[in-house]
Amino acid sequence: MNTIRVHLPGSPTGPDPDRSYLIRCGSGLLDSLGPLLRDSGGRRGVVVADAAVAETHAARVVASLQAAGIEAVSLTVPSGEASKSVGALGRLWAEFARLAVDRHTRVMAVGGGVVGDLAGFAAATFSRGLPVWQVPTTLVAQVDSAIGGKTGINLPAGKNLVGAFWQPAGVVSDIDTLSTLPDREFVSGLAEVVKYGVILDAEFFAWLEDHAAAILAREPAAVGHAVERSAALKARVVEQDERETTGLRAALNYGHTFAHAYETAAGYGVLLHGEAVAIGMARAARLAERCGRISCDLVARQDRLLERFRLPVAAPESLRDAERLIEIMGRDKKTLDGQLRFVLPSKLGHVDLVDGIRPEAVKDVLQG
Which residues are known to be catalytic? Answer: 128, 150, 192, 234, 244, 249, 253, 256, 260, 273
Using the rule CB under 6 A, is 237 a contact of ligand NAD?
no
Using the rule CB under 6 A, is 85 a contact of ligand NAD?
no
From residue 283, how far is each of 187, 214, 249, 335 by CA, in Å? 19, 27, 20, 17
The terminus-to-terminus CA distance of the chain in angstroms comes to: 44
Q: How far is the CB of 8 from ligand NAD (least distance, A)?
A: 15
Please give the Cα distance from 337 to 321 (Å, whole number): 23
Which of residues 247 and 368 has its CB atom nearest to ligand NAD in the complex? 247
Please give the Cα distance from 335 to 337 (Å, whole number): 7
Using the rule CB under 6 A, is 177 a contact of ligand NAD?
yes
Please give the Cα distance from 25 to 222 (Å, whole number): 13
Q: How far is the CB of 113 from ligand NAD (least distance, A)?
A: 2
77 Cβ neighbours under 8 A, 6+ residues apart: 48, 49, 50, 51, 83, 88, 92, 111, 114, 115, 118, 119
Taking CB under 6 A as the rule, which mask of x and - marks residues 287-326 in contact with ligand NAD? ----------------------------------------
Say if residues 325 and 293 touch (Cβ distance below 8 Å).
Answer: no
Q: Are strands 132-136 and 105-111 parallel, antiparallel or unpaired?
A: parallel
Nearest CA-CA partner of 276 in 290, 294, 258: 258
Using the rule CB under 6 A, is 199 a contact of ligand NAD?
no
Which of residues 79 and 346 has its CB atom nearest to ligand NAD in the complex? 79
Residue nearest to ligand NAD (CB): 113
3 state DSSP class of 23: strand
Q: Which stretch binds ligand NAD (CB under 6 A): 11-19, 61-69, 114-122, 316-324?
A: 114-122
Taking CB under 6 A as the rule, which mask of x and - marks residues 64-83 in contact with ligand NAD? ---------------xxx--
Please give the Cα distance from 313 to 201 (Å, whole number): 21
Show contacts with ligand NAD in window 3-62 (CB under 6 A).
50, 52-53, 57
From residue 314, how far is each of 135, 158, 208, 277 by CA, in Å? 33, 25, 21, 11
Taking CB under 6 A as the criterion, the residue among 105, 125, 134, 145 binding ligand NAD is: 145
Taking CB under 6 A as the criterion, the residue among 77, 107, 122, 144 binding ligand NAD is: 144
Show contacts with ligand NAD in window 273-292 (CB under 6 A).
273
* Residues near ligand NAD, by CB under 6 A: 50, 52-53, 57, 79-81, 84, 111-115, 117, 137-138, 140-141, 144-145, 148, 150, 160, 177, 180-181, 185, 273
